[in-house]
Chains A and B, each alone.
Chain A
Amino acid sequence: MAATVATEAMKAGAAARHEAGTGPAPYMNPYLAGVGLGLVLLATFVLMGRGLGASGAFTSVVAVAVEAAAPEHARANEFYVGYLENGFGHPFKSFLVFEVLGLIVGGFLSGALAGRNRRTVEKGPRISTRGRLGLAFLGGGLMGVGSKLARGCTSGQALSGGAVLSVGSWAFMLMVFAGAYALAYFVRRQWL
């Protein structure tokens, strides 16, 4: 049913823009989008007493995969065990796994309505597609390690922990910006 709704939304969005003779819709005003995002986060606090997240869902996937491949190895590691016993009944029956499934649907729906869903690789003009994909993998890897060291990523720590004024979350957030600005010059050919 969700797929039908999504397809219809995409058609409607595309048709509206075809009539208007325009390309993808412009992005929402950043302050308006920020208020929307903040209200979603606030709703999560009020409903659940916890915030949003993202990296945790992928940790559940990794833990389940490791257990499937080497059950004894996974069970001997406290880190994997933490995620294997995270849900109720099954490790995938967890808040973050279901939230990330929603994240996929919400992102797709918004992109469809705006005519922004397109198979492409995001990069600047001065780097090859292969180079860009290599750096995407490397950056993802750095973030995988970093988010586990910090016990969360931009969603769980910076956004959710920041809104409840956690000391560690604010220290984390400052370091994220510091790290990205520090390296920006060296990878400018990828983006500019």
Chain B
Amino acid sequence: MIAPFFKYGLFGDEASLILAFLVGIGFGFFLERAGFGSARKLTAQFYLTDLTVFKVMFTAIITALLGIFYLSWIGWVDLSLVYVPNTYLAPQILGGLLLGFGFIVGGYCPGTSVVGTATGRFDGFIFLLGLMAGIFAFGEAYPLLEGFVNSTDLGPITLPEALHVSYGLVVFAVVALAVVGFWGAGIVERRFAAR
């Protein structure tokens, strides 16, 4: 076990900020390469003419998923030290729905609106102002929302734990679903892009 490096104290807080900046550069670079600085490219996903969002997102998920799975399997990464967000089922379902509405109405998500703004998209900048207004509204309403926000707390539960199957089986299932999805995405695009 040698990783996560930060958790094993290989570097401190200050160095972690430099790394944060560097991984941020990589993150932004690939988002822009994929076309995610463009709201029209992003929203085409929801009119089925261009399924790049699905393809990029699921390729990224299975790449990181397989990577972390193998690195933990060969003993290089302690998976128990990799942060799994707590599940709060009800607020996450409602939050996801609102985020989906915001995605098609606003044209971006928070990360892609930063890339849009950085590449000159003024609508991306206005989206960011809206994002901060929304966060402020949430903050002001927090005393009222607090009960709901902290409800249905299931802890840092993972799919293999919830389904009572092995981690490897879920990894395999996700990869298999993604591959079928990629194949289906090609068919959908050929059908809808032609119209």
Contact = CB atoms under 8 A, between A and B. Distances in A.
A38 B108 CA distance: 20
Contact of A148 (B58, B138, B158): B138
Size class of the A contact interface (CB-based, 8 Å): 35 or more
A59 B119 CA distance: 22
A34 B55 CA distance: 7
Nearest to A188: B47
A33 interface: yes
B109 A143 contact: yes
B180 interface: no
A94 to B, nearest CB: 8
A177 to B, nearest CB: 6
B97 A169 contact: no
A145 B93 CA distance: 13
A179 B103 contact: yes
Contacts of A35: 59-60, 63
B110 interface: yes
Interface in A152-187: 152-184, 187
Contact of A172 (B37, B93, B137, B149): B93
Contacts of A68: none
Given A48-B19, A63-B139, A143-B109, A118 B47 contact: no
Interface of B: 3-7, 13, 16-35, 37-41, 43-47, 52, 55-65, 67-68, 71, 77, 81-89, 91-124, 126-139, 142-143, 145-146, 149, 154, 156-162, 167, 170-171, 174, 182
Top-9 shortest CB links A-B: A139-B106, A144-B134, A179-B100, A102-B24, A140-B130, A34-B59, A38-B63, A106-B28, A150-B95
Interface of A: 27-28, 30-31, 33-52, 54-55, 58-59, 61-63, 66, 77-80, 88, 93, 95-111, 114, 116-124, 132-133, 135-184, 187-188, 190-192
Given A108-B119, A154-B103, 12 more contacts: A36-B26, A36-B29, A54-B111, A95-B20, A97-B20, A107-B28, A108-B118, A139-B106, A140-B108, A143-B99, A149-B98, A161-B85
